[in-house]
Chain A
């Protein structure tokens, strides 16, 4: 009995030798893409990736509070810059790796033909990256004041999607990459031109406090090396001439 116990202990102690564990705090919006990348990365390197998926802002606050993370993936430049300013992201390690666009969606069987017809529109609140881009777009289209009373603010894309899919709002504004996940349940009405809002780019960076800096950089490089076809599957485009 004692022998078995000792054996298990030795086994557990030895586990890290099989490969290292890398903690990745990633924006919810990149979940499907990152999960796909994970499989390839783990197969190629033998290391293990452990994910924490949440909203970009929440993850940034967690990292600020000292949560264990080696890599941070943000759905907006703002939250990445926020951590860089606090010195929590390794200098020069942050880069955009994918971009997507903003789309107007409706429930599957809806006959809505334009944004102005909608009675209730679910949008992200000012803290969610999707909300920020939506606000820019509506203001640029000169529709914000007109639609203000119809907007219902949600803290996450998921919430917007649930309200739209269940038909409780007439329309919702989300990222194209998020629309793809629910394309069986949603109707794509319109893609907003890119010049109506600041570029929607997902950023990746190495967390300064990471003790696995080399491995983290390897993962970042791996993510940046994804080809256009792979990204397109998940509704993203490659960022050209990344800084």
Chain B
């Protein structure tokens, strides 16, 4: 029912979305905490900059990324010198596009969750002589958990569906960067509707299963 190219695109999409969500979590969590609880210079600017991809059309985001990460871009040219390879037209490009698209969704959601944690509980922890790191993991994180998980789901879904920036940055190269949305786009514009339908169903299936699992997980949490 599914040809090797379609199967490849499913595997690739899962890989891209997973890797970008892990990166979003690792970088996004400390940032959300800092935005929620700390004061630092240019805080508003940072907040605005990471929100931009939510407002920009994805193609524009992709174009900016291409200018920065492309072969002659400020970051891209350094990568070329160091590793003799770039991220444009590779699956890393798809990861970067998904990362940038999903990042604000995660940060917005987890920042709001961390802000809503009762300040008194945090102060109690400090009064008991616990460090900030300890308090973060034992008090803030458990209480903000549902918002953080919601942010992860949102960014995963966004990563799985990322199209415009991916096309710009990674191209649409069969067996290399053809994620599910790109593959669906090719199928639809080629009039191959059966193929498009199957891939759409697969894509919807993956999203439904993941959202269902996470909802169940957070409901089980609440019972405690």
Question: Which residue from A120, A126, A159, A162 sits with its C-beta under 8 Å from B89?
Answer: A120
Main secondary structure of the interface of B (DSSP, over half): loop
CA distance A159 to B190 in the complex (A): 18
A125 to B190, CA, bound (A): 10
Does B168 reach chain A (CB closer than 8 Å)?
A: yes
Quick one: which of B63, B89, B167 has the most chain A CB within 10 A? B89
Q: Which residue of A lies closest to B188 (CB)?
A: A61
* Minimum C-beta distance from B102 to chain A (A): 23
Choice from A57, A125, A153, A167 contacting B71 with Cβ under 8 Å: A167
A147 CB–B CB distance under 8 Å: no
Judge if B94 is at the interface, Cβ distance under 8 Å: no
B67 interfacial contact with A, CB 8 Å = yes
A62 on the B face (CB < 8 A): no
Query: Which residues of the partner chain A approach B70 to less than 8 Å between Cβ atoms?
Result: 166-168
Interface residues in B69-98 by Cβ distance below 8 A to A read 70-73, 86, 88-89
What band does the interface of chain A fall in when counting residues whose beta carbon is under 8 Å from B?
Answer: 10 to 19
Q: Does A138 contact B (CB under 8 A)?
A: no
Judging by beta carbons under 8 Å apart, are B189 and A168 in contact?
no
Indicate if A127 sits at the interface (CB-CB under 8 A). yes
B189 and A127 contact, CB distance less than 8 A? yes
Q: B172 in the interface, Cβ–Cβ < 8 Å?
A: yes
B171 touches A153 (CB 8 A): yes
- Which of A58, A120, A162 is the one whose CB lies under 8 Å from B66? A162
User: A152 an interface residue at 8 Å Cβ cutoff?
Assistant: yes
What is the CB-to-nearest-CB distance from A76 to chain B, in angstroms, rounded to a whole number? Answer: 14
Give a binary string over B163-205; 1 marks a CB under 8 Å from any A CB, 0 the rest: 0000110011100000000000110011000000000000000
Q: Shortest beta-carbon distance, A215 to chain B, in Å?
A: 32
Chain B neighbourhood of A127, CB < 8 A: 189-190
Identify A152's interface contact among B89, B186, B189, B190, CB under 8 A: B89
Q: How many residues of B contact A (CB 8 A)?
A: 19
The answer for the CA separation of A154 and B59 in the assembled complex, in Å, is: 13
| Chain B residue at minimal CB-CB distance from A151 | B173
- Measured between beta carbons, the chain B residues less than 8 angstroms from A57 are 189
| CB atoms of A126 and B173 under 8 A apart | no
Select the residue from B63, B171, B172, B173 with max chain A CB neighbours within 10 A.
B171
Does A155 interact with chain B (Cβ within 8 Å)? Answer: yes
**Contact (Cβ within 8 A) A166 B67:** yes
Interface pair A166/B173, CB less than 8 Å apart:
no
In this complex, the member of A120, A125, A152, A154 whose beta carbon has the largest number of chain B beta carbons within 10 angstroms is: A152
Cβ-defined contact, A152 with B72, below 8 A: no
A159 to B164, CA, bound (A): 11
Do residues B71 and A162 form an inter-chain contact, with CB atoms below 8 A? Answer: no
The 0/1 profile, CB within 8 Å of A marked 1, for residues 40-81 of chain B is 000000000000000000000001001100111100000000
Find A153's partner among B67, B73, B168, B172 (CB 8 Å cutoff). Answer: B172
Q: Are A162 and B63 in contact (CB under 8 A)?
A: yes
* In the complex with contacts A57-B189, A125-B172, A152-B173, A168-B71 CB distance below 8 A: yes
Contacting pair A125 B186 (CB below 8 A):
yes
Report the minimum CB–CB distance from A166 to chain B (whole Å). Answer: 5
Measured CA separation A217–B207 after assembly (Å): 50
- Which residues of B, 85-133, contact A by the 8 Å Cβ criterion? 86, 88-89
Residues of B within 8 A of A153 (CB): 171-173
Q: How far is the CA of A183 from the CA of B63 in the complex (A)?
A: 20
The 3 closest A-B pairs by CB, nearest first: A167-B72, A166-B70, A168-B70
- A contacts, CB < 8 Å to B: 57-58, 120, 125-127, 152-155, 159, 162-163, 166-168
> Can you list 16 pairs linking A and B with CB atoms under 8 Å apart?
A125-B186, A127-B190, A152-B89, A152-B171, A153-B173, A154-B172, A155-B189, A159-B167, A159-B168, A162-B66, A162-B168, A166-B70, A166-B72, A166-B73, A168-B71, A168-B89
New A-B pairs, 12, CB < 8 Å, besides A153-B172, A167-B71: A57-B189, A125-B172, A126-B190, A127-B189, A153-B171, A153-B173, A162-B168, A163-B66, A166-B72, A168-B70, A168-B72, A168-B88
